[in-house]
Amino acid sequence: MSKDDLNRIFLSEEEIPTHWYNVQADMPNLPAPSLNPKTKQPLKFEDLQAIFPDELIRQEMSTERWIEIPEEVREAYKKWRPSPLYRARGLEKALDTPAEIYYKYEGTSPSGSHKINSSIPQAYYNKQAGIKRLATETGAGQWGTALSIACQAFGLECVVYMVKISYEQKPYRRHLMNVYGGRVIASPSMETECGRQILAKDPNSLGSLGIAISEAVEDAAGRDDTNYALGSVLNHVTLHQTVIGQEAKAQLAKIDRYPDPVIGCCGGGTNFGGISFPFVKDKIEGKKVRLLAVEPAACPTLTRGKFAYDYGDTAQLTPIMKMYTLGHDFVPPGIHSGGLRYHGASPLVSQLYHDGLIEAVAYGQNEVFAAALKFARTEGILPAPESSHAIKAAIDEALKCRESGEKKVILFCLSGHGHFDLAAYESYLSGRLKDVEYTDEMIAEGLKNLPRI
């Protein structure tokens, strides 16, 4: 069988990357320093010690190019890494495109998405630091599941503050965390001062990601045995996700391919950074490769937001970061790609986008689900709605190749499966899914309350 005939390209366990790649070593401009939300001065190492172990703070601030992956983490990765790279032959055929389409599939992980690439090292470093318990928040449940599995693997307790409306409407996600030993609390809760205050004012509050973050941070800051864990946005989280792009690059190299474009969906930005950052240095050195971030039109952070200092959360408890933002009190509508409903984008992605090294595009959810359905019916795999944004962009690129006759090598990250998103598919199939349109005035409204730095 010739290399050109392969349907899946595997790597051996020995080919799991030995280091994470830190894009900060190669960026033309480093992101502006994040600021302490109280003092508005550049964030210091000590500012983060109440909630993160030292090693993760070092990674957050490091500009070293390669950071070694601990042996215990690589061992844990072996349950699902290296993940497969698929050639999308069914999709290519359906599109009648001369392009080759490849997707790196992270849905074979125990948690069903890429999130576990970071929850494993986060649990590991906390365990090393003597921490007994991790607190986090979750919206749709992907990160809460990934952290529950990681805590189980390293013998830590896991407490997940889950936005109350998701807690009630998505019981299966909650049960899944319970199966993996996670304790799931509907937020706002009576377990934190912040939660009690909100419930005193509004006993029927349905919660928000902002409130859940506040509760998890309060929980972690108030207990010596507990730290906080975040599944997106931050530098160290993006760092851990670079195993995705490194593996994909090695897999394509095995069949003598190099991708252009490289595509990922973009919410907080860690999945997109994971697939694309390992190609940034090549691009800076003149290699022809477009890096394309795909976001929902209902939360168009890169394509319509502002590059400015802003808080990471509604309650203004997190550090102030320089990033593309729609405003920390922008509330995206309830679209089905819960994992992409975030008002900001990671400072690393934002800086690279600002410097023209990354491109971005936004799609409405109906066209994204149409792409998801085409993918499911030609490739068999049911994609997560979030990941389907990348599929839509890949399809559009492949159709352009049909016009131009170009034989491009398109690579995208299929960051997770959609086994827990069937209610969303049903909405689409029954024609009940609505797209959201923003006027420039509505976007401007969200940007009115940026902090004055």
Q: Which of 200, 253, 423, 453 binds a second copy (CB under 8 A)?
A: 423
Structure-token pair, residue 130: 């003597």
The dihedral sign for the CA sequence 374, 379, 380, 382:
negative
* 34, 309 contact by CB (below 8 A): no
| Residue 110 near a second copy by CB under 8 A | yes
Span interacting with a second copy, options 12-20, 227-235, 273-281, 310-318, rule CB under 8 A: 12-20
* 321, 309 contact by CB (below 8 A): yes
| Residue 420 near a second copy by CB under 8 A | yes
| Residue 376 near a second copy by CB under 8 A | yes
- 118-157 residues in contact with a second copy (CB under 8 A) are 149, 152-153
Residue 226 and residue 126: Cα distance in Å, rounded? 9
- 79-98 residues in contact with a second copy (CB under 8 A) are 79-80, 90
For 27, half-sphere exposure in the C-beta direction (CA atoms, 13 angstrom radius) is: 24
Smallest separation, CB 25 to a second copy (Å)? 29
Span interacting with a second copy, options 30-38, 172-180, 210-218, 248-256, rule CB under 8 A: 172-180
| Residue 176 near a second copy by CB under 8 A | yes
Span interacting with a second copy, options 17-25, 205-213, 322-330, 371-379, rule CB under 8 A: 371-379
Smallest separation, CB 250 to a second copy (Å)? 16
| Residue 68 near a second copy by CB under 8 A | no
* 323, 347 contact by CB (below 8 A): yes
| Residue 18 near a second copy by CB under 8 A | no
What contacts 361, CB < 8 A, 6 or more positions away? 292, 293, 294, 295, 303, 393
| Residue 33 near a second copy by CB under 8 A | no
> Which residues partner with 185 through β-bridges?
161
What is the separation, in whole angstroms, between the first and last Cα of the chain?
61
Smallest separation, CB 6 to a second copy (Å)? 7
Phi, psi torsion values for 262, nearest 5 degrees: -110, 125
Give the SS3 label for residue 203. coil
Smallest separation, CB 379 to a second copy (Å)? 7
Smallest separation, CB 413 to a second copy (Å)? 18
| Residue 181 near a second copy by CB under 8 A | yes
| Residue 391 near a second copy by CB under 8 A | no
For 255-266, b where at least 16 C-beta lie within 10 A, e where not — what string? bebebbbbbbbb
Query: Strand pairing of 291-296 and 262-265?
Result: parallel
Instruction: Compare residues 14 and 437 and give the one whose CB is closer to a second copy.
Output: 14
| Residue 62 near a second copy by CB under 8 A | no
Structure-token pair, residue 262: 């490289």
CA distances from 171 to 76, 111, 165, 206 (A): 28, 16, 10, 15
Query: Strand pairing of 100-105 and 85-87?
Result: antiparallel
Is the peptide bond preceding residue 261 cis, with omega within 30 degrees of 0? yes
- 327-366 residues in contact with a second copy (CB under 8 A) are none
Instruction: Compare residues 381 and 399 and give the one whose CB is closer to a second copy.
Output: 381
Span interacting with a second copy, options 10-18, 209-217, 225-233, 278-286, rule CB under 8 A: 10-18
Span interacting with a second copy, options 191-199, 298-306, 325-333, 419-427, rule CB under 8 A: 419-427
| Residue 175 near a second copy by CB under 8 A | yes
Residue 165 and residue 341: Cα distance in Å, rounded? 15
| Residue 373 near a second copy by CB under 8 A | yes
Instruction: Compare residues 107 and 344 and give the one whose CB is closer to a second copy.
Output: 107
For 425-443, b where at least 16 C-beta lie within 10 A, e where not — what string? beebeeeebeebebeeeeb
Q: Which of 44, 196, 223, 377 binds a second copy (CB under 8 A)?
A: 377
Instruction: Compare residues 53 and 112 and give the one whose CB is closer to a second copy.
Output: 112
Smallest separation, CB 165 to a second copy (Å)? 18
Smallest separation, CB 206 to a second copy (Å)? 22
Residue 405 and residue 431: Cα distance in Å, rounded? 34
Residues that bind a second copy (CB under 8 A): 1, 6-8, 10, 12-14, 78-80, 90, 108-112, 149, 152-153, 171-172, 175-176, 178-181, 373, 376-377, 379-382, 417, 419-420, 422-423, 425-426, 429
